[in-house]
Amino acid sequence: MSSPSTVDHAAATPAHRTALTVLVYSDDANVRAAVRAALGTKPATDLPDVRVREAATEPAVIEAMDGIAKGHGRIDLAILDGEAVPAGGIGIARQLKDEIYRCPPLLVLTGRAQDGWLATWARADAIVPHPIDPVRLADVAAALLRPRVA
């Protein structure tokens, strides 16, 4: 069951085993919508459909990721907004990498390209700066999702 701060956009398409789940965190609904639009139904033609699960708060991200750590559901990629407030995606990325065994790949959206070193410190698997370039975001997301299909 989704908490009020999370929305699962999978209801629009039938769920099946091969669908990939992407968690998108930002306190800004416009950022979440831009990420969802960039991913579309699949970020690359060689990948299965993606299901987007949104989180607007840090507790919602922790709850979703804690659920996968306990074997409840699956998240194949988490996209975290480094500019979210009050909890930024960079700090959340560091916490997830520290606390979750076999943490799924994390893509961090940074405020500036120069903030990449912070995302690297947080052990993010990939970095895409704001403003979101939909083609670049889809390409980076696809590269992180491909190993999850095999």
For residue 112, the domain's CATH number is 3.40.50.2300
| Full domain range(s) for residue 97 | 18-149
pLDDT one-digit tens code per residue, 112-129: 878 888 888 999 999 999
Number of domains in the chain: 1
pTM, entire model: 0.87
Look at residue 7 in the predicted model and tell me its pLDDT. 47
- Asked whether residue 125 is domain-assigned, the answer is yes
Question: Taking all residues of the chain, what is their mean pLDDT, rounded to a whole number?
Answer: 88
- Asked whether residue 2 is domain-assigned, the answer is no
Q: Write a three-state SS string for the chain.
A: CCCCCEEEHHHHCCCCCCCEEEEEECCCHHHHHHHHHHHCCCCCCCCCCEEEEEECCHHHHHHHHHHHHCCCCCCCEEEEECCCCCCCHHHHHHHHHHHCCCCCCEEEEECCHHHHHHHHHCCCCEEEECCCCHHHHHHHHHHHHHHHHC
- Asked whether residue 22 is domain-assigned, the answer is yes
- Asked whether residue 83 is domain-assigned, the answer is yes
